[in-house]
Chains A and B, each alone.
Chain A
């Protein structure tokens, strides 16, 4: 069974569209994260949720909004997509804050 699963794996869309990426973890972890890996291969944190509360939000445009319906899910909604949003987005979870992260397999977003 996949511990952290995210869908879709690939997402190709046009500028200006709105899209969502879903993430689910079955590890019973308390904290979930979204990371972005850009063209320079850096993995940068975007958001984390702990018990349904946003606990960090790095300098991410407000076009990006995380939604957590429950502890096992953290979805990422992106409005008005821009070319620069093209990247691989990874969902992750951890038992507690700062314990090792378990990552999903990523969603490659391409904005044309």
Chain B
């Protein structure tokens, strides 16, 4: 039972353009959402997070949007750079619960 879904296994974007990665969740108890970035042979690295009391959080080139009614969040990267090529994991947690529930990841490829 996938509570966090990333339906696009891969995404290819031209350098300089906007990358939009999507994530859907089913558990209405989730109240904290995170995005992680992972390079091959390395562990996931925390990128950005958002609490359910907000609908947007921005950090430099990265912006996360949360639509609670649709149980959907997205990560926008603009402008996309070659170093952004990696696997991006969406994760969520519920208050009072321990640990994060991860999606399957989306492999972002930035083309020159």
Contacts and interface: CB of A to CB of B under 8 A. Distances in A.
A112 B34 CA distance: 36
B98 A101 contact: no
B14 interface: no
A100 B105 contact: no
A42 B97 CA distance: 19
Contacts of B36: 103
A105 B41 contact: yes
The binding surface of chain A is classed by DSSP as: strand
Interface string A67-89: 00000000000000000000000
Contacts of A48: 98-99
Nearest to A98: B93
Nearest to A42: B104
B105 A102 contact: no
A97 B98 contact: yes
A51 to B, nearest CB: 13
Given A41-B105, A42-B104, A43-B89, A102 B99 contact: no
A101 B43 CA distance: 11
10 contacts: A33-B99, A40-B104, A42-B102, A43-B44, A43-B89, A50-B98, A92-B43, A98-B93, A98-B95, A101-B44
10 A-B pairs with least C-beta separation? A103-B43, A45-B99, A43-B102, A100-B46, A56-B98, A98-B93, A105-B43, A103-B44, A105-B42, A104-B43
